[in-house]
Structures are given as structure tokens and as C-alpha cells.
Structure 1
Amino acid sequence: MKMNYIKKLILVVPTLLIVSCHADLDQAPIDPDSFTEADVFVNADEAKGALAKLYASLALTGQEGPAGQPDISGIDEGTSQYSRMLFSLNELTTDNAVVGWGDPGLPNLHAMSWGANNDFTTAMYYRLAQEVSFCNSFISNAESLNDNDEVKAYIAEARFLRAFAYYNLVDLYANVPLVDKVSTDLPEQSTRKEVFNYVESELLEIQDLLKESGSNEYGRVDKVAAWALLSKLYLNAEVYIGEQRNTEAVTFASKAINSSYAINTTDANGNGSAYDELFLADNNSNGAQKEFIFALNFDGNQSRTYGGTTFLIHASIGGSMIPANSGVNGGWEGLRTTEALVNKFDYSVTSKDDDGNPITWSDARAMFHTDGQSLEINKIANTFTDGYAVKKFSNLKSDGEQGVDASGEFVDTDLPLIRLGEIYLTYAEAVLRGGSGGDLQTAVGYINELRERAFGDNTGNINSGDLTLDFIIDERARELYWEGQRRTDLIRFNDFTTGNYLWPFKGGSKSGTAVESFRQLFPLPSNIILINTNLQQNPGY
């Protein structure tokens, strides 16, 4: 059973009332069970069960599996899952993905025309607010057991998860309330710099309180997660607070790289590349797990959701694709990619169709289904065959067997939120941006390690003259597409809203167009602005 302790969801009855429709960034856990806080925090073993809820609230959506008693109201439960919404906000808004569905607010994401009442931007705020609330409640109650060394580590993990939620909030919304205690008071709004400083200080404080590298259970974070998240925070500091912190990005990326984590080079299914092992149903055991610094755990029987990798796999299947080839029972005919992403792999094209469009590549990261699909998108809505399909994620194991759910509905594939391959790219970019303490040749070596995995040999290797910022933004697209990174990357390179870089249907135009710069941030939900008069809406909304 791959979910380990996370499937044991012992929840906490709130001492805090649910106020302001999740508006105060400190929500109480919803709990239908009869456990009391005294029951849950009677000893370290019971507290560990409560800790599981903090992880599970990012992977799951409610109290009854895929549907029933949702944690977040006002939106389809499966849609409200954290990584599904991260995909919607950080991938569908970019060159990496389009979706043909017409759910209210969904077409506006790729068209970059969302408003303050958008269901997806609103629900993501609530999901992150709830995670903060769960963490605050856990920390407050677990402190009664703080003389236990194991519980001290649990508290450090809860503080990491709270910092991770605030990292997302500072990236997506900027100026949000900063709440680190259980309270019923409507909070004041904090500046983006104040929230940045809080995330930084929390991660610095807990790095030595978290368990040593690789010593925690699979699915739980250790001190390397703090280092890796710090490197991401510092890499984006110029966007977040107007300060370059690239030296710190190099420092903490180096610490993560020099830990016990390692790039997966195990080609367990014998297809000539170890890259796809990262996204298979047994990626918790096939060698990929040694690259995962922080991942969401999924199990087709024990942790069912219509978000997560169940969403990524089903929604990307349609047209001539055979669902069984991805280990599932059907396709939802929604997600595809744009020509802009496919073109990032032009240097590795090995064959083309009769119309001159690429259909095979020597770079194994080009995981596209082309049969029956057109490269160019003429119409997004309800036309799955417009745009190449993506087959990056699969519910097949390395041996070709399907995941544990015999029906093929729910998948086992874990989803990396931070993996070492990303930190390699962070190191290289921070060095190029002037971060001291790094080395250009070392950066080239890290990039080539990723590319040798992708090509199966050194034919795709680069030299120091090839390593530029333009190369990095494209290499990040090739390595990390559909992993929830792209919008953040494009903003850092000043490509997200500007006319510097266009992609199909950016700004609602088939050929792409620039949009207003205020769209680098999402709006705070309009209803919380009405409820909490301490808050001001982000400019432009």
C-alpha cells in the first residue's frame, strides 16, 4: 500500500468557528467524526495521524474519497484538488496547455481574461487558506506534546507545509493576510514582502528541526525540502520583492543537490530513457522516488480523487489514443498542448508526417501523441484533435502492469511538486543571473546530466557557450512541462503578459497577443473583499 500513513486521516474537531466563508486565511478543519482534539493529541502516535491530514489536504478533496463532504464548497469537488488547480492556474494560462471544456471560468484561463469571480482563482485561494488553517490548528495542539522529539519533527513538517502554502499565495496573489495562529478575528492584509519574509524565516528556522536528508518516510518532507523551497523562493525574489537573491538561490540549491537525493537514471521499463519512470504508477519504488524532494502521494484504492494524476491522465486522453495504453479505463478528451511547446523540441526531431509536422524525437521528454492530431490549434473548445496530446503521465507501472484500481478509474502515479531535476535548473539559472558561489561548468554538468537521461547518451549535451537564459527558459519547458511551473517561469523571464513571447490563443487571439501586466497576479476572491474590509483587491480587478 503506497500511501503509507497518509491514508490514515484522523481529523481534528475545530475549536475555531468557520468564519467569513474561508475569507480569513485561517479556516477550521471540517470534521464529521467524533474525535476531539484531546483524543487526537493524546500522544505522538495519534498526533501523527493528524499530521497526515495536512499532507492529504493537498492531495485529496474531502472526507469521503473522490466525492462527498468536500473540504471546499462552491466548486466541483474534483476540480478543487490542489494540484489540479495549480495546473489550471500555472499551466493552462501558458503555452504548455489548453483545455476544450467549457466549465464556467475555465476558457478564460488560457485566454487570460479571468475576473475576480473566477471559480478557479477563487477556489485555489480557499484551498491554500484551508491548508494554512489545518497547519495552524495542528501546530497549536501539537505543542502540548512538544517535549517529544518525534512531535517536534511533526511540528516542523507542519510549519513547512504552511510555508509551502504561503509560497503559493505569495506567487499567485501577492498581498494576502498573514495568519499563523488560530483566531476568529478578521486579519489585516500583509504586503508581498512581509509574506516573503515570513516564508523565508520559517524555512530557515525549521531546516535543522526537520529530519535528515532521506531519513523520513516516503511522502513526508525532510530538511532538503526546506532548502529546495528556499532556492525557489530566492530565484523568484526579484519578482516578489524587487530584490535579486540569486546568491542565496545558488547556496540552497547546492545544499539540496549535495544531499542524499539523486537524479533518477533507472530505466526500469527498458525503453532507453529513465525520464518517463518519473511519471509512472510505481514512481514511488522504481527509482524515481530518489529524485522526489516533495511529492503528492496517490493510490488508486486508498486515496481516490478526480484531481491529481487521475485528472492529468484521463483529461489528456482522446482522439485515437487508447486509454489502456495509459493504464486507465477512458479519456476525458480535454487537455492538449500548443505548437509553442512542441517547437521547443525542434532540435531533436527524427521524423515528420506528410505535412512536415514532427512525429518522433530523439529527446525522450517530447512525450506527444500525434496520430490523428493536428499540430496547429484552430479551435480549442470541444475539438480534442486540435493540438498534440500529451502522454507524459501514465497509470502503468515499469513492468507494464496497470495500477491497483482494477477498474482503471483512479491512478497510483505520485506527482512531484519539487524534484531534484528542477533544482538543477534553479542552480544553473541562478548562476547565469549572477549568483555567487556557483560555477558555470558545474551548471553545464547538471544540465547535461538531465539531457543525457533524456537522450540516452551524450548527443544532446551542451557546452558553456550554449548555456544562456534563453536556453534555460526553454529547457525548463522541456523538462518540467505540466508540473505546475510554467506561469511562474514566464513571469520571471518577463514573457507572461508581454509581447516578448506569444503562443497560440494567448490573450484570446489565435496568433497570440500581449495582455495587461496586472495579470501577473490573480485576484483575491471578490466575496472576501466584501466580507473583510481590511483587504484591498489586487490592481486591475
Structure 2
Amino acid sequence: MVVSLSSCTKDLDITPQDDQDLLGEDFFTKETAYKELLAGVYANLSLTGVDGEGSSNIEGLDAGTSQFGRVLLYLQTLSADQMIWSYENDPGTREIQRNIWNADDPIIYGMFGRTHVTIAFANNFLRETTEEKLAARNVSEATKTEIVKFRAEARLLRAMSYYYMMDLFGQANFTTENDAINAQPLAYNRQQLFDFVEAELTAIEADLSEPMNVEHGRASKGVAWMILAKMYLNAEVYIGQPKYTEALDNCKKIIAGGYILADNYLHNFMADNNTNSAVNEIIFPIISDGQITKNYGPTTIMINGSVGSTEDNGVALGVGADGWGGALRLRKQFVQLFDASIYNNDTRNTIISEGRDIEITDISNQDQGYLLEKYSNATSTGGFGVDQTLVDTDFPLFRLADVYLMYAEAHLRGGTGANPADLTSYINALRTRANNPQNNLTISDIDLDFIIDERARELHWEAHRRQDLIRFGRFTGGSYNWAWKGNGTNGIALPAHLNLYPIPAASLASNPSLTQNVGY
């Protein structure tokens, strides 16, 4: 991982360490080099640099505002109705959670930059694994066969990066391995990105591993289907065309792929979610652990941040009694989704309310607002992660429960091919797993209002909420307000242009092909 994190210095302003910049022909004398190089593409999802969790290998980007999972969480969750971050002197957080961001926000720049680094690393891997280069290096036939799969994985990670750029920004610097390293990138719009991701994931499907048949943390066909399902579910937002039948088709592929729900909802969010029953549910994780892939990523942030200002609940969470002293709290509107008595013993309800006011009138007051204990650095067997700050808990970027809910929503939105009996079975399975007594719902009980609320109850703090609210027409405008939306204590309407983030000013300056999004 270290080698390839400093590899692609000509594509972006990545700062190499001379003693670690080892990529030359000597590197490829061992055939294990190709898997090591691929590991670096994956590593960019977890790590920010080659010199520990506080380092950054991108010029001008801090490790705290450029770890992929963390900035994704900020842009998809902190910007919406579930989470509040207490320490608004942390760069960019105030603007994101109050919906007053601009093109100079470091978190927005961090997402734009970090995602393009994954694209650059994937392109670099593909350039180093052409048939010509493999032949010139006398690579064995066995390794060549492996590299076919490796190349498909690199293309998937690149496609996933373009998918997130399409969702968040509606634009991206577009390059592939066929572009000269120093060439000025094209700027692709949403339609072009949609078409590329769709074609790319379709093209590589046959070369990817079967679901449930990969090393932990590597991508299989299931990940390709998941990206396609989510892209098709949001196609009306992205390209103005409904593709709900296509979303259903990909959901059905995932469900048939052998994934099953974890025995316990909370296993998905524990320090051993790479070995407990969650391994059967998590389709793709962002790796985190306290020894090797140490990072200040989303699970480290959420677990330390879930320790209250006075509760000293960090011991149970595996990060020490004080944690970060009330860094994260819940907005009222999310809490109210669990108000009904049927949620009292629902295992998805990990809200701590005792002695606390539901209202947050002063964001800097850590004593206001309820807490959440969804994520922990504890294991399902009673132990804890190896480090008391940098946690062992992988971030479940994609998991089966989301697929069940997408299946239902795509059907309700007009997609064809769903079996109503399967639909209710999937929703009731989530309710049964959560110990919710209302687990015998019929098709008449399940409508789109139910889906958007159930997605919040099932998938909160998993970096989906902004996307969901936009798809339901509730993110901008004033039909649905939440605490501090638009910088108002009780929430105010947002202008429609905030459905996209601005292109960072620094990125506009470096590529004149990019254009600023409307409204910024």
C-alpha cells in the first residue's frame, strides 16, 4: 500500500517521499508487485498518506479533511437531518452542517481531490498492466490470469469514484489510462459520467469475482451491481430519466448473490465486523483498524464523537471514558422517527436521551441534543479494538439491508419485475432482525413515506441521507425542514442549487474545462 500511495506523482500534486517512491521497473521484478499496486488503489479509500494517520499525500489537503469515508459522511450525512458536530472551528464543518458552504470549503475540496486520486491510482495500475508491459516483464501466465481480475477491480474503483463525483458535484475531471499523464483532463457532465459508469461496470462484470468469494475489503460483482442499482434508483435526479426497472434488476442480482442479513443489526457496526455475522451482509467496507490502516475516518470520528459530554460512555464503546466529549449529537427530526412505542426495543434505536434536551439551540453546547451509540470499537464476543482512539471498525459503505429497501422503493416508483411477496418479506426481515414487533407488514402498509423514514431508521449515519432526501424532493426547498437547515435554528428552505456541491475554486483554477455549478 505504501508503495503505490506515492506512485502517481505526475497525475496530481501528490507529494512523494523519496525513500518510499519505489515504482520503477525494479519494483515489477516480483510478480506479487501487481497485487501490492492494486492494494494501493484500495488503500486510498482508507489512508490519507504514507506517514501515519495524520499525514496527507495530496498537496494542500489536510488528513482530517480528505479521508474518503470521512468527507463522504460529512457531505451526505452532516449536511442533512441526522447529525450535528459540536466543534465548528474544525475547518469546513460549520458550513456543511448549516448548509452555507461555498467553493472554498476544505471538506468539499477534500472530497473532490481524494476521489480524483483514486481515479489517478486506478489509471496508473491499468497503465502498468497492459499486455505489452506484462509480456516485456515475462510475467507468468498464472499471474496474468490474476491480473485480469485485478484490472476489473481497478476499473470498478475508478467507476465508483466517478459515481460519487456525479452524485455530489455533477462533474468530474475525466481521464482514463489511455490519456497521456500530463494531458489536460476533459470535464464530464452528469450524463457523460452516468453513461461511462454504466458501460464500465457492465463491461467488467464477467471478470470480477463472484459475490461472497473475495478477500475481505475487495470488490466483487456484488459491488458493481450495488453501484448500478443506486445509480439507476437516482437516475431521474442525475439524467432526468426513470430507470427503476434497471434498479430492480440489479437488486435482484445482489439478493441472489448469497448475501444474508447479519444475526444482529449492531454486528454491522462493531470492531469485528470483518469476522462476525456482518461479513454476510456487508457488500463493500472501507477498511479501518488500529494497527495497519490507522486513519481518522468515519468510524473513528463517529465512535469517539458518540461519547457524551457528561455520560462517560466511551468505555462501553471501546475508546476510553471521555472520548471526544460530546462531539456528535442528533438533530430532533431524526430522533422523532423512533418516537412510537414499537421502536422502544428496536435494536436500531441506540439513542441516549436521559438527562438531555432534544432541542439544540446552541451547536457549541455539547450538553444539548441526544446521543447515538450505533457504532462501537467493541467486538461481538466481548472484546475491544486494539487501539482506544483509532478504531478497528470497518465502515459499511454498502450492505444488503439497503438493497432490500431499494427493491421496495424501485417497485413503488414504477419499476417492473418485483414480487410483492418478496418485497414484504424483505421489509419484515429487517423489522424482525431489529426486534421490532411490527414485523408483519403487508404491501398496503408500505408506501414511499414509509420507505424514506425506514431508510433513516435502518441506514442512519451510513452516508446515504442527503442522496435520499434529494431523491424524495426534501433536501432543498421548504417542504421538509430540520434543525439548523439553512442556518436557521428550526430550519429554513434551501435554494435548489444546493442539491449539488460547488466545484472547488482550486479545481476550477487548475482545469479550465470545468465550469462552476449554477448558483455558486
Instruction: Classify the TM-score, shorter chain.
Output: over 0.9
Is residue 5–residue 44 contact of structure 2 (8 Å, CA) maintained in 1?
Answer: no
What's the counterpart of residue 418 of structure 1? 398
What's the counterpart of residue 131 of structure 1? 118
Tell me which amino acid in the other structure corresponds to 1:317: V
Of 317, 320, 326 in structure 2, the residue corresponding to residue 326 of structure 1 is 317
- Do the aligned partners of residues 204 and 32 (structure 1) sit closer, same or farther apart at CA in structure 2, a change above 3 Å counting? farther
Give the Cα separation in 2 of the matches to 1:343 and 1:192.
35
Of 214, 222, 225 in structure 2, the residue corresponding to residue 224 of structure 1 is 222
Describe the superposition over 1:246-266 as per-residue Cα deviations: whole angstroms up to 9, x where unpaired. 00000000000111211112x
- Do the aligned partners of residues 349 and 452 (structure 1) sit closer, same or farther apart at CA in structure 2, a change above 3 Å counting? closer
Give the Cα separation in 1 of the matches to 2:282 and 2:53.
25
* Correspondence 1:363 to 2:352: no
Q: Percent identity?
A: 39
Give the Cα separation in 2 of the matches to 1:15 and 1:429.
41
Question: Cα distance, 1:186 vs. partner?
Answer: 1.6
Greater mean deviation of Cα atoms: 481-490 or 296-305: 296-305
Describe the superposition over 1:171-221 as per-residue Cα deviations: whole angstroms up to 9, x where unpaired. 000022221125212222212100011011111111111011211111111
Give the Cα separation in 2 of the matches to 1:29 and 1:222.
31
Question: Cα distance, 1:298 vs. partner?
Answer: 1.5
- Do the aligned partners of residues 498 and 90 (structure 1) sit closer, same or farther apart at CA in structure 2, a change above 3 Å counting? same
* TM-score, length basis structure 1: 0.90
What's the counterpart of residue 310 of structure 1? 300
What's the counterpart of residue 243 of structure 1? 241
What's the counterpart of residue 282 of structure 1? 272
Give the Cα separation in 1 of the matches to 2:471 and 2:287.
29
- Do the aligned partners of residues 29 and 523 (structure 1) sit closer, same or farther apart at CA in structure 2, a change above 3 Å counting? farther
- Do the aligned partners of residues 163 and 388 (structure 1) sit closer, same or farther apart at CA in structure 2, a change above 3 Å counting? same
Greater mean deviation of Cα atoms: 338-347 or 489-498: 338-347
* Correspondence 1:394 to 2:385: no
What's the counterpart of residue 467 of structure 2? 488
SS of the residue corresponding to residue 417 of structure 1 reads strand
Give the Cα separation in 2 of the matches to 1:86 and 1:31.
31
SS of the residue corresponding to residue 113 of structure 1 reads coil
Of 369, 373, 383 in structure 1, the residue corresponding to residue 356 of structure 2 is 373
Describe the superposition over 1:37-89 as per-residue Cα deviations: whole angstroms up to 9, x where unpaired. 42343454211011111111101111022123x12343431332111101111
Is residue 283–residue 398 contact of structure 2 (8 Å, CA) maintained in 1?
Answer: yes
Is residue 281–residue 402 contact of structure 1 (8 Å, CA) maintained in 2?
Answer: yes
Of 254, 257, 262 in structure 2, the residue corresponding to residue 256 of structure 1 is 254
Is residue 424–residue 447 contact of structure 1 (8 Å, CA) maintained in 2?
Answer: yes
What's the counterpart of residue 383 of structure 1? 365
Tell me which amino acid in the other structure corresponds to 2:356: Q
Give the Cα separation in 2 of the matches to 1:131 and 1:15.
10
Is residue 67–residue 110 contact of structure 2 (8 Å, CA) maintained in 1?
Answer: no
Give the Cα separation in 1 of the matches to 2:466 and 2:487.
17
What is the 5 A alignment of 1:497-508? 497-508=476-487
Question: Cα distance, 1:104 vs. partner?
Answer: 3.3
- Do the aligned partners of residues 53 and 31 (structure 1) sit closer, same or farther apart at CA in structure 2, a change above 3 Å counting? farther
Is residue 28–residue 130 contact of structure 1 (8 Å, CA) maintained in 2?
Answer: no
- Do the aligned partners of residues 31 and 482 (structure 1) sit closer, same or farther apart at CA in structure 2, a change above 3 Å counting? farther
Is residue 174–residue 192 contact of structure 1 (8 Å, CA) maintained in 2?
Answer: yes
Is residue 300–residue 403 contact of structure 1 (8 Å, CA) maintained in 2?
Answer: yes
Give the Cα separation in 1 of the matches to 2:191 and 2:17.
31
What's the counterpart of residue 200 of structure 1? 198
SS of the residue corresponding to residue 395 of structure 1 reads coil
Tell me which amino acid in the other structure corresponds to 1:389: L
What's the counterpart of residue 456 of structure 2? 477
Question: Cα distance, 1:395 vs. partner?
Answer: 0.4
Give the Cα separation in 1 of the matches to 2:291 and 2:493.
45
Give the Cα separation in 1 of the matches to 2:444 and 2:51.
54
- Do the aligned partners of residues 30 and 487 (structure 1) sit closer, same or farther apart at CA in structure 2, a change above 3 Å counting? farther
SS of the residue corresponding to residue 11 of structure 1 reads helix
SS of the residue corresponding to residue 225 of structure 1 reads helix
Give the Cα separation in 1 of the matches to 2:335 and 2:145.
50
Tell me which amino acid in the other structure corresponds to 2:323: G
Describe the superposition over 1:95-133 as per-residue Cα deviations: whole angstroms up to 9, x where unpaired. 011111122321111211101111111111000011100
Question: Cα distance, 1:441 vs. partner?
Answer: 2.4
Question: Cα distance, 1:368 vs. partner?
Answer: 1.1
Is residue 44–residue 145 contact of structure 1 (8 Å, CA) maintained in 2?
Answer: no
SS of the residue corresponding to residue 295 of structure 1 reads strand
Is residue 4–residue 41 contact of structure 2 (8 Å, CA) maintained in 1?
Answer: no
SS of the residue corresponding to residue 455 of structure 1 reads coil
Question: Cα distance, 1:162 vs. partner?
Answer: 0.5
Q: Please report the RMSD computed on the Cα atoms of aligned residues, expressed in angstroms.
A: 1.8
SS of the residue corresponding to residue 188 of structure 2 reads coil
* Correspondence 1:298 to 2:278: no
SS of the residue corresponding to residue 142 of structure 1 reads coil
What's the counterpart of residue 454 of structure 1? 434
What's the counterpart of residue 418 of structure 2? 438
- In structure 1, runs of 5+ residues without a counterpart are 1-7, 22-26, 266-273, 351-360
* Correspondence 1:17 to 2:10: yes
Tell me which amino acid in the other structure corresponds to 2:297: G
SS of the residue corresponding to residue 59 of structure 1 reads coil
Give the Cα separation in 1 of the matches to 2:291 and 2:5.
24
Is residue 5–residue 41 contact of structure 2 (8 Å, CA) maintained in 1?
Answer: no
Tell me which amino acid in the other structure corresponds to 1:309: T
Is residue 338–residue 387 contact of structure 1 (8 Å, CA) maintained in 2?
Answer: yes
Describe the superposition over 1:274-298 as per-residue Cα deviations: whole angstroms up to 9, x where unpaired. 1111111111111111111110121
Give the Cα separation in 1 of the matches to 2:215 and 2:502.
37
Give the Cα separation in 1 of the matches to 2:123 and 2:200.
13
Question: Cα distance, 1:363 vs. partner?
Answer: 1.4
SS of the residue corresponding to residue 398 of structure 2 reads strand
Is residue 6–residue 57 contact of structure 2 (8 Å, CA) maintained in 1?
Answer: no
Give the Cα separation in 1 of the matches to 2:446 and 2:487.
33
Give the Cα separation in 2 of the matches to 1:399 and 1:284.
13
What's the counterpart of residue 104 of structure 2? 117
* Count of equivalent residues: 505
Question: Cα distance, 1:28 vs. partner?
Answer: 8.9
Question: Cα distance, 1:331 vs. partner?
Answer: 1.6
* Correspondence 1:188 to 2:193: no
Question: Cα distance, 1:35 vs. partner?
Answer: 1.6
Tell me which amino acid in the other structure corresponds to 1:466: D
Question: Cα distance, 1:18 vs. partner?
Answer: 4.8
Superposed structure 1 runs of 4+ greater than 6 Å apart: 27-31
Tell me which amino acid in the other structure corresponds to 2:432: E
